[in-house]
Structure 1
Amino acid sequence: MGLTLSFWLRDGHLKKHHRSSSAFSPFAEAPPIRLAVLLDTPPVAPGNPRSQWSRTHLSPNLQVCVSGGSVCRARVEQSSDAVRGAVGVQAGLHIWEVIWEELQRGSHALLGVSTHTCPLQASGYTALIGGDSCSWGWDLSTNQLWHDGKRRRYLGGGASDIPNIPDRVLVVLDADAGTLGYVVDNCYLGVAFRDLPKGAELFPAVSCVWGGAQICIRYLCGTTRDAPALQALSRLSVRRALESDGPRTLPPALQRLLLDP
């Protein structure tokens, strides 16, 4: 049964059954099986150390709140400022949620990952996350992917070809495969970066230039490189199959088991 479910998901049925009215639907891709299961997994409890920004690895123009889940940039000019997560990862598949209001982004709003050697402050306005070989970032204001000081488009042919990036973005890091991607409006936008260094400690990271910008982080969940459990695959496949049929065809107890987050 598990093998049958794996083929069912792999062959594109997940994409067929996953409907979205988001403006990002034209750019969406069917997520890999491990990611599909992880996106269907309830988030970890609040207070996880991975849900915090680092209090030591950040620009002097940034201040982390008491809980560690939010960072705020001072109202200074001609400075680019970055912060890394408090805890990095070296293996596994991981998802972080970042809340960054569109009106607080400015000209260089980079979201991605970095090693511990990425610069955290620079004069002028520039892309810190992605500006060197040790970081990878997506500029939410211009739809540009940055790495090693080089940039390219992520979605469509240009910034005007995609809708504005909403306040909530999920960062998807597969440290085992060495890939980084993003989820917006429940749409997996595909792999943005490949060939990230395997075995290196990687941290979620942002860099910004907007005075007063507040950026929140939350670690949602993660998994090892092992194949998903049969129970998780079964639950996911049934949930997807019920999207068009609706849960009313099942007894209430089974509804709660399969459909409750």
Structure 2
Amino acid sequence: MKRLLRAQRPPGGPSTRLLKLCLGSQMDWAVLLDTPPAPAADPRSLWSPGHHSPNFCLIQGGVVAHRVPTQQSTDAVRAALGQGVGLHVWEVSWDPAERGSHAVVGVATQQCPLQTSGYRVLVGGDKESWGWELGSNQLWHGNVPQGLYPGSKEDGGGERPPVAVPGSILMVLDADAGTLGFVVDGCFLGVAMRGLPRGAPLFPAASSVWGRCRIGLRYVNGASREPPSLTSLCRLSVRQALGKDQGKHVDDLRLAPALRRLL
């Protein structure tokens, strides 16, 4: 893949993954994911109690949306808080065994519909939402397929085989640039959608037809598009040089306590 970005999984789980990026336009993503994750109680981790299909209910304090089995209905849920500026990363958890057809994740405006009859793509099914169908890897916007993701538009090669999307992925919204992308199995798959509206809040969203599916949401981190601080860049460079066993290597270094805590 063009510009394939590998991630390590240090102690602390997927919310503290590091994207090992080259210097360049993607460095702010690396710095963002190398900073301490947002607290579990962050309100940006919650699904909205007032913006979901009647066939969804919220459980586990609002971080998991649970669909009630219903025939001939497609149902959607939207996050409680949207983002209109800055760079933001969410973790979406959705067991592949609970997806079926038309399992879509993405972002939406406040005007995106949350329920429709029959089985269809709902997030991405109108002009107010942008979605990635996890089974087929098809991108959707305005009820029009936008191509497979990851696809071949940017590298000029043939289409890649479908990606088997695991139970946990990262969704990356650059609200300032108007782009959306995803991280799967530690690999950033590139920009999925461009031309998203800037300034207006965009909300993580998901739609499903599968009875009893559970979709989890967690806000990982966010930042403005200001240049990263020299401290952040130095910390990232040292942690990448230390490799996977960062904690052990830091203990071996002769550093002042303040520097140990920084690393």
Q: TM-score, structure 2 length as denominator?
A: 0.83
Partners of 2:7 and 2:90 in 1: how far apart?
23
User: Once the 2 structures are TM-superposed, how far is the Cα of residue 162 of structure 1 from its aligned partner?
Assistant: 3.3
Q: Deviations over 1:92-114 (max 9, x none)?
A: 10111111000001101110100
The residue aligned with 1:52 is 46
Q: Deviations over 1:85-135 (max 9, x none)?
A: 001111110111111000001101110100000010000111110011110
Residue ranges of structure 2 left out of the alignment (5+ in a row):
10-19, 153-157
2:87 to 86, 93, 101: 93
Equivalent residues, number: 239
Partners of 2:80 and 2:137 in 1: how far apart?
26
Percent same amino acid at aligned positions?
50
Partners of 1:216 and 1:53 in 2: how far apart?
9
Instruction: State the SS of the aligned residue for 1:67.
Output: helix
Q: TM-score, structure 1 length as denominator?
A: 0.83
Distance 1:19 1:57, change over 3 A: closer
1:78 to 72, 81, 105: 72
Distance 1:102 1:66, change over 3 A: closer
Residues 1-261 of structure 1: matches in 2 within 5 Å? 18=6, 32-65=26-59, 67-151=61-145, 152-156=147-151, 161-243=161-243, 248=249, 250-251=252-253, 256-257=260-261
Q: Deviations over 1:196-218 (max 9, x none)?
A: 00011110000011000001101
Residue ranges of structure 1 left out of the alignment (5+ in a row):
1-11, 22-27
User: Once the 2 structures are TM-superposed, how far is the Cα of residue 160 of structure 1 from its aligned partner?
Assistant: 8.1
Distance 1:76 1:224, change over 3 A: same
Distance 1:237 1:150, change over 3 A: same
2:190 partner letter: G
User: Once the 2 structures are TM-superposed, how far is the Cα of residue 245 of structure 1 from its aligned partner?
Assistant: 9.4
1:154 partner letter: Y
Structure with more helix by fraction: 1
